[in-house]
């Protein structure tokens, strides 16, 4: 029987090694899982940001909707509806008829309350007029020369902590009626406009002569009552047949429609009335059916019998400000009624077939087109908040819910040139707020995207040559002792808060550049020339001179040279400015060259933001160059290549993926920079490549306006759209950088 040899017991050392190997494997696996999980979570975070931005942005491109809410029967009347509307809460509706009656209708309990106007005894209504929708005012003219002026108002009270809205009729003057003409003259056609301190009427008498009556109010300091002074003037050169008349709310223009011509009168001064312009509204095979003022009263909407509504407004030209055709909306059917919103540039048309169309002029967007479930339509109007639509028919009043929160937004309004009211031509404009409620919002993102690229361009023009040249010299030529000091010093610059750089750029650098502009330009020219001359002089110096400075510290010799050239350029700046620019370089730029000059301009931003970008580009590029294997450069030198040939044909090609990544990382940093461009520019959204003018970037615009925007408003959501565009910019730049880096790596990996 063979004897079995017992296996030796494992040594303690081997057991410990096995346990350590197992623990290391577990740690490696956990590390791998942790890194993978972290990478996945970064990707998930980016996706969440992407989809959240889309979630906030999406509603601004949604269409409008109109849905029935209530229908209330009112006593039938043969008179036309003069004025139609509601209170802000849409609880009380009203209609004013041409016969002088006013009906208030509750949308809550459908009760109808009739209120009579204090019409003059024995007088007959001969004309009627209404104001802009936001004023909710109306007037009646009588055959005895009198006029009644009133407006609809709503009083809100809270009895027993319950909101109660009470409609009422107010009279702006001390008395309801006013003697406008002589007692034997009827007020045949009427238009009016009023404010707290001024009141204007235009009317035609029995002889079809048109008159302007202007009343200027002045408050009595003792009684605090407004005392009115009246002046009257006849309009010159009026047409014989006038079908419609309008007064602008600012009481500076009167508009008379005669056939297909619109007569514009300048009536700012009652004693100096003149015919300013005659606008031809001719269209082939079409006639003008209605003329209305758009919200803000800067534009005139003209509807035609062929289903077209055209917009006209004043444009500054050689002969001053004149009305001209701007744009049109077609295929609307024969427009029977046209109503505009109180403050926005939206308006609604209703065709003879009952087709309702909602449109917005600035964005040239058709928001809705649907059939109204009503018959025998008499009038249509918006509620004050534009969230309701009121229609009047022979059967009663109908209230519709309107969802139209973002009519100002369209792709053309965001990215293309738009002809805004009062502008001489289409332009890219960003103006999100104003001092009035009826201003025309201007939400063009093009100047913001342009400003972002402009700021990044000038920053990269300043930072890229300096950062790459510094990285090449530091990694390839500089001694290790000096490199160990220079590289960390430059990288520490990246920790400098950008708000500090912006503060210094806005309050110190911008005034310095403005007062020493020739010196700065000389600095850009003579600094590199001086450095090259000193380097050349050092290279041809005798060995005795070179021994004064150790070879490891020769590059430090340039520090006093750079400082001296900079000091000399700024010292010579006033003399050069006096010699070349007659003592005022800014005046030379603005008047001789025809360029604008802002103290906080792209040049200042380029310098300040360049200092913020330099550490990023320098650090990545220097690491890429320094990491090139030494055997490549040593082999090149051994084969007889010079150090410069080795650098340009071996080292830089091998390091090109990292260098390109460094430049793209710097570009991404410049595109997303906020505080420097916010504090070092005028934040003016203009499109101009001039380095002497400022800009407004996407990031700075978001930082400035986001705290002021109302949550859920068009302004708020467009700022999120700007953030989305900025997100896409950085995504595109990083993607391009990665693709190019991979191709460069594949191409030069064989070196």
Residue 152 is assigned to a structural domain of this protein = no
Q: What is the pLDDT of residues 175-199, one digit of tens each?
A: 888 888 888 888 989 999 988 888 9
C-alpha neighbours within 13 Å on the C-beta side of residue 436:
11
CB-based contacts of 625: which residues, under 8 Å, 6+ apart? 471, 472, 475, 476, 651, 652, 655, 658, 659
Q: How confident is the model at residue 1 (pLDDT cuts 50, 70, 90)?
A: very low
Q: Give the strand pairing for 101-106 and 112-116.
A: antiparallel
Residue 641 is assigned to a structural domain of this protein = yes
- Rounded Cα–Cα distance for residues 372 and 390 (Å): 11
Q: What is the pLDDT of residues 64-82, one digit of tens each?
A: 999 999 888 888 888 888 9
Q: How confident is the model at residue 347 (pLDDT cuts 50, 70, 90)?
A: very high
Can you read off the two tokens belonging to residue 600? 């906080």
- Rounded Cα–Cα distance for residues 322 and 319 (Å): 7
Residue 24 in this model has a pLDDT that exceeds 90: no
On whether the CB atoms of residues 660 and 737 are closer than 8 A, the answer is yes
Residue 437 is assigned to a structural domain of this protein = no
How high is the pLDDT of residue 748? Answer: 65
Distance of CA 523 to CAs 533, 569, 573, Å?
15, 6, 10
Q: What is the 3-state secondary structure (H, E, C) of 191-256?
A: EEEECCCEEEEEEECCCCCEEEEEEEEEECCCCCCEEEEEEEEECCCCCCCCCEEEECCCCCEEEE
> Into how many domains does the chain fold?
1
Residue 220 is assigned to a structural domain of this protein = no
Structural domain containing residue 478:
456-722+732-748
Q: Is 331 left (phi over 0), alpha (psi -120 to 50) or beta?
A: left
pTM: 0.85
Sign of CA dihedral 599, 604, 605, 609: negative
Ordered alpha helix ranges (H), 58-167: none
Question: Does residue 275 or residue 433 have the better pLDDT?
Answer: 275
Residue with tokens 């003037």: 233
Residue whose C-alpha is closest to residue 213's, from 185, 190, 196: 190
On whether the CB atoms of residues 723 and 53 are closer than 8 A, the answer is yes
Residue 616 is assigned to a structural domain of this protein = yes
Q: Phi and psi dihedrals of 139, rounded to 5?
A: -145, 150
Residue 663 is assigned to a structural domain of this protein = yes
Q: What is the pLDDT of residues 253-296, one digit of tens each?
A: 999 999 889 999 999 888 889 999 999 998 888 888 889 999 88
Q: What is the pLDDT of residues 116-150, one digit of tens each?
A: 888 888 889 999 999 988 889 999 999 999 999 99
Distance of CA 126 to CAs 205, 239, 347, 397, Å?
10, 20, 29, 26
Q: Phi and psi dihedrals of 373, rounded to 5?
A: -80, 50
Residue 682 is assigned to a structural domain of this protein = yes
Residue 695 is assigned to a structural domain of this protein = yes
Domain of 598, CATH number, reads 1.10.3720
Which of 10-14, 329-333, 500-504, 551-555 shows the lowest per-residue confidence on average (mean pLDDT)? Answer: 10-14
- Rounded Cα–Cα distance for residues 262 and 312 (Å): 11
Q: How confident is the model at residue 544 (pLDDT cuts 50, 70, 90)?
A: confident
Length of the chain: 751
């Amino acid at each position: 029987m063979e004897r079995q040899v017992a296996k030796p017991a494992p040594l303690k050392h081997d057991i410990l090694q096995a346990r350590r190997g197992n623990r290391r494997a577990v740690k490696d696996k956990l590390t791998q899982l942790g890194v993978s999980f972290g990478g996945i979570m970064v990707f998930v975070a980016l996706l969440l940001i992407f989809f959240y931005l889309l979630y906030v942005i999406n509603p601004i491109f949604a269409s409008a909707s109109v849905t029935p809410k209530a229908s209330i029967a009112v006593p039938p009347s043969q008179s036309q509806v003069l004025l139609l509307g509601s209170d802000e809460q849409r609880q009380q509706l009203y209609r004013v008829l041409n016969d002088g009656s006013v009906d208030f209708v509750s949308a809550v309990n459908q009760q109808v309350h009739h209120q009579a106007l204090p019409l003059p005894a024995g007088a007959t209504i001969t004309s009627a007029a209404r104001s802009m929708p936001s004023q909710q005012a109306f007037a009646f003219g009588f055959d005895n020369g009198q006029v009644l002026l009133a407006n609809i108002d709503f009083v809100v009270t809270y009895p027993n902590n319950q909101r109660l809205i009470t409609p009422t009729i107010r009279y702006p003057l001390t008395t309801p009626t006013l003697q406008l003409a002589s007692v034997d003259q009827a007020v045949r056609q009427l238009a009016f406009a009023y404010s707290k301190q001024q009141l204007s009427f235009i009317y035609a008498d029995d002889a079809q002569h048109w008159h302007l009556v202007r009343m200027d109010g002045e408050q009595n300091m003792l009684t605090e009552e407004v005392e009115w002074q009246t002046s009257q003037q006849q309009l010159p050169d009026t047409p014989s047949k006038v079908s419609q008349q309008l007064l602008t709310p600012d009481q500076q223009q009167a508009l008379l429609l005669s056939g297909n011509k619109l007569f514009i009168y300048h009536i700012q001064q009652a004693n100096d009335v003149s015919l300013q312009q005659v606008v031809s509204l001719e269209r082939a095979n079409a006639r003008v059916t209605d003329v209305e003022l758009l919200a803000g009263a800067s534009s005139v909407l003209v509807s035609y019998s062929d289903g077209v509504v055209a917009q006209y407004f004043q444009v500054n030209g050689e002969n001053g400000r004149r009305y001209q055709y701007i744009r049109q909306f077609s295929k609307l059917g024969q427009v029977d009624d046209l109503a505009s919103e109180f403050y926005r540039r939206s308006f609604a048309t209703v065709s003879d077939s009952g087709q309702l169309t909602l449109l917005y002029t600035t964005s040239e967007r058709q928001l809705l087109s649907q059939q109204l479930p009503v018959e025998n339509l008499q009038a249509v109007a918006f509620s004050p908040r534009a969230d309701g639509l009121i229609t009047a028919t022979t059967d009663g009043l109908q209230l519709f819910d309107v969802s139209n929160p973002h009519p100002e937004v369209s792709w053309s309004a965001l990215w293309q040139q738009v002809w805004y009211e009062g502008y001489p031509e289409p332009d890219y404009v960003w103006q999100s707020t104003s001092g009035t409620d009826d201003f025309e919002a201007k939400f063009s993102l093009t100047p913001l995207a342009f400003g972002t690229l402009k700021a990044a361009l000038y920053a990269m023009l300043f930072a890229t040559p300096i950062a790459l040249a510094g990285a090449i010299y530091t990694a390839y030529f500089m001694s290790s002792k000096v490199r160990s000091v220079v590289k960390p010093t430059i990288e520490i610059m990246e920790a400098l808060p950008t708000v500090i750089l912006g503060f210094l750029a806005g309050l110190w650098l911008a005034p310095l550049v403005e007062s020493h502009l020739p010196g700065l330009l000389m600095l850009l020219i003579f600094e590199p020339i001086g450095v090259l001359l000193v380097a050349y002089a050092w290279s041809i110096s005798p060995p005795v001179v070179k021994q004064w400075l150790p070879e490891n510290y020769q590059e430090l010799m340039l520090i006093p040279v750079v400082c001296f050239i900079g000091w000399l350029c700024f010292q010579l700046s006033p003399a050069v400015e006096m010699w070349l620019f007659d003592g005022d370089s800014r005046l030379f730029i603005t008047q001789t060259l025809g360029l604008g000059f802002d103290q906080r301009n792209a040049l200042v931003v380029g310098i300040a933001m360049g200092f913020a970008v330099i550490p990023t580009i320098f650090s990545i590029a220097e690491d890429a160059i320094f990491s090139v294997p030494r055997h490549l450069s040593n082999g090149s030198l051994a084969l007889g290549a010079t150090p410069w040939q080795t650098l340009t044909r071996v080292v830089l090609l091998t390091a090109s993926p990292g260098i390109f990544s460094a430049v793209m990382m710097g570009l991404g940093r410049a595109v997303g920079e906020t505080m420097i461009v916010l504090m070092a520019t005028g934040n003016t959204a203009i499109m101009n490549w001039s380095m002497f003018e400022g800009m407004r970037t996407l990031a700075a615009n978001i930082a400035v306006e986001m705290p002021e925007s109302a949550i859920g408003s068009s302004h708020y959501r467009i700022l999120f759209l700007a953030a989305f565009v900025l997100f896409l910019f950085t995504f595109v730049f990083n993607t391009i950088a990665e693709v190019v880096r991979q191709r460069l790596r594949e191409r030069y990996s064989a070196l």
